[in-house]
Structure 1
């Protein structure tokens, strides 16, 4: 009888282990820098992205996904901790997470503890100092590279002159192989690492830096496009917008060949738009290489794949460039989630209009593994992945600080965007904005205060105040430069 009991317990333990393997799949995350939803699967008329489109056809495409802040460092911290920027109190790119938050549990820390090999390749956190100690396998983030001899000579000249900024031109199209630029090396390292960890459970981040500036990509990706097909966007600014609502340039002015003031001419605008698209096709090819390896190693059957960006981007819209705002085009992001092919309830080729946020990714992965994790501020998306038409959150929110005294907080219901620019300490509303986005990412008229939209504005203000109550000052822990 004792032997029978032992056999039963052993069988139960074995079944539990098998179940654990089923509910704790591998996780592969493509984390892309500065990518708006300029992809074929999102309806882009210009972007050539067959590999990402294929991934979307194998999973769920989220049509209304949003980042928590349209700038690299705070956005990535939020994704990796499941906490919003207003809770972390970090709003700039200059403050590493671990300088002010020693004990916040991050995604790699959590998955390390439950036995996963955690892998960071390319740009994952913005700051390398946040990265190194949190991963089982860590590849140092590489700097931007140029391959054109004239550009290399220019960089050396800048060094010799003692210039602090060593940014070369804002674009390059050298006739080189993929690995001559850093994202090609990122995919190479990812492929090599997959072969090493194929017998382990793993959480692997593949951080692709393009289409971040400079728009450097091999010539063959530029050659995919006819530059004459790129339309010059309108430089019209949103009417009656808050004076600090729109930043025109971000980091673009710091590159050689970009005028220090004034608008760009049409030729340069078209070249930059061309470079942005070439960069997207370049990273699309890297996604394809890694996904092919996943298939070849027979890992796809038990690997969830997530493709996401840290924030959106402007390529000349509103006469502006880069991100750094609360506008729809900057806070909306692409998000594709494809379950492991061996999952019995796998849903493929569907689009979800659920309002979801990057802060939801960490709790999604915790529930995926059937575990309890640190208390975050997002919601698990597993039920939406299983049922893409499910009704979900009523609102998605983001922030953008203008210095330490002014905070822009914004909310969308999927059709309207309402923003309040507040005094960071007193919450006094300095100005409000209301934009309609039923048919377009772009909106050119601030409808706040318009009597025709009074009910809409009142409803949107109530949604905003769920996340940003007027009696709670904004936490500010940024470290001065």
Structure 2
């Protein structure tokens, strides 16, 4: 019996060494790849490749068919600014102390000594290129981009009111009338200029972020009546601050300032959201086509990701800004055309991974020495997608400076504690069952039937967020106070 156990251990150890060796061999430092990251805004896990029966996303689906799709990837905070800072530094929001989207949430000058992704690549001889929305603030970390192209949204008004920014639009216009079409053209032109250089390029597509503006031909891909209105029911015993009043949507024309949306407007907005997804997908396809035509595909590691998820009327709520599963779970695809010996295509990994893992992954792929980060390289999973990995993924969301919600998922259950942000005193607990659905039905915290599950989830949470940790406000910079 002991011999069998020892033999099993040796086999597992050798397998792990082999995976590490293969991951290093796939992307040798002497063959440093280019890196192209598509950073999408407000994209939930609702794509053809992720099992959606109605979303039309052929180019994203094709990218997944030529790479590895992570089915359990999570953002660290469901809001643009802090999430993008985490992605580009590999650091959690509680490490940077940045939780907002205003100046107080910018990486620079609040964290002058943090080494960002473009900074590391630039210091190691790469051309670093930012096109579109990359950081939330277009003026953040600009010194570390060798090329920095930003675009503003074009609010074309089919309603004839140029003063009002409506929440959605189906302009009978060409793709490059709207922002993402221009971003794609800029990316293609820049690829032509740097085709003989090593480059890190981050292409920030804004859609499907509000306003849901997309050329009419993408609206025409869908029938409005194919969309179902989600239930407005909120989970029983949900914490009073768990959801928001979704004021981001209420800022736009045609949206009531109070109360829930009626079914007709809900269907229109869902239609608009998915038209925007298909529009963004088409722009991505143009950039990928250019990568092929320039003979750069085999030299380039491609990452497709979203800064966070989104709600489309579930719980009677919209936008993101919560710790809920719909807002924290994100699509993540990594693709690299390598030798047939190591190529994995159309593979799905259920490993629990996080957006903070992208920076160490692309840095290790380029053979670069990493600064201190909270994430970890996913290269071993590109060789063995089913290998043993982390048992949990973590996110948080603050309600001002007084309350902090910290949350953990094991892929099936989501456990959240709402705490006093200064003292770590636990104010409320939530436990949601997501084994069958992304929609939470009831807060099961405190129920005898799930006592052991809750205890296990709490143990996982405390590994990242112990109750004796310093104040969440302690690391906020002077500008944050």
Alignment match, 1:75: 83
- Quote the Cα distance in structure 2 between the aligned partners of 1:355 and 1:19: 26
User: Out of 419, 438, 443, which is 1:441 matched to?
Assistant: 438
User: Out of 40, 43, 58, which is 1:50 matched to?
Assistant: 58
- Quote the Cα distance in structure 2 between the aligned partners of 1:154 and 1:195: 36
- Quote the Cα distance in structure 2 between the aligned partners of 1:169 and 1:149: 9
User: Out of 401, 412, 415, which is 2:412 matched to?
Assistant: 415
- Quote the Cα distance in structure 1 between the aligned partners of 2:417 and 2:340: 43
Alpha-carbon shift at residue 341 of structure 1 (Å): 3.6
Query: In the alignment, is residue 90 of structure 1 matched against residue 98 of structure 2?
Result: yes
Alpha-carbon shift at residue 346 of structure 1 (Å): 2.0
Q: Residues 108 and 141 of structure 2 are in contact (CA less than 8 Å); yes or no, is this contact kept in structure 1? A: no
- Quote the Cα distance in structure 2 between the aligned partners of 1:255 and 1:126: 19
Secondary structure in 2 matching 1:98: coil
Alignment match, 2:177: 180
User: Out of 41, 44, 53, which is 1:36 matched to?
Assistant: 44
Alpha-carbon shift at residue 480 of structure 1 (Å): 5.7
Alpha-carbon shift at residue 343 of structure 1 (Å): 7.1
Q: Residues 424 and 473 of structure 1 are in contact (CA less than 8 Å); yes or no, is this contact kept in structure 2? A: no
Q: Deviations over 1:104-157 (max 9, x none)?
A: 0000000001111110000000012214211011102x2221223644x432xx
Q: Deviations over 1:176-208 (max 9, x none)?
A: 000000000000000000000000011100100
Query: In the alignment, is residue 384 of structure 1 matched against residue 394 of structure 2?
Result: no
Q: Deviations over 1:308-355 (max 9, x none)?
A: 000000000000000000000000000000023457412111000000
Alpha-carbon shift at residue 70 of structure 1 (Å): 0.2
User: Out of 239, 259, 263, which is 1:242 matched to?
Assistant: 239
Q: Structure 1 stretches of 5 or more lacking a match?
A: 1-17, 156-166
Alpha-carbon shift at residue 64 of structure 1 (Å): 0.2
Deviates more, 1:343-352 or 1:28-37: 343-352
Query: In the alignment, is residue 257 of structure 1 matched against residue 254 of structure 2?
Result: yes
Alignment match, 1:106: 116
Q: What is the aligned residue count?
A: 450
Secondary structure in 2 matching 1:417: strand
Alignment match, 1:425: 422
Alpha-carbon shift at residue 212 of structure 1 (Å): 0.3
Alignment match, 1:146: 155
Alignment match, 2:288: 291
Query: In the alignment, is residue 471 of structure 1 matched against residue 468 of structure 2?
Result: yes
| Alpha-carbon RMSD | 1.4
Secondary structure in 2 matching 1:337: strand
TM-score (norm 2): 0.91
Secondary structure in 2 matching 1:128: coil
Alignment match, 1:133: 143
- Quote the Cα distance in structure 1 between the aligned partners of 2:415 and 2:240: 16
- Quote the Cα distance in structure 1 between the aligned partners of 2:145 and 2:321: 29
TM-score (norm 1): 0.91
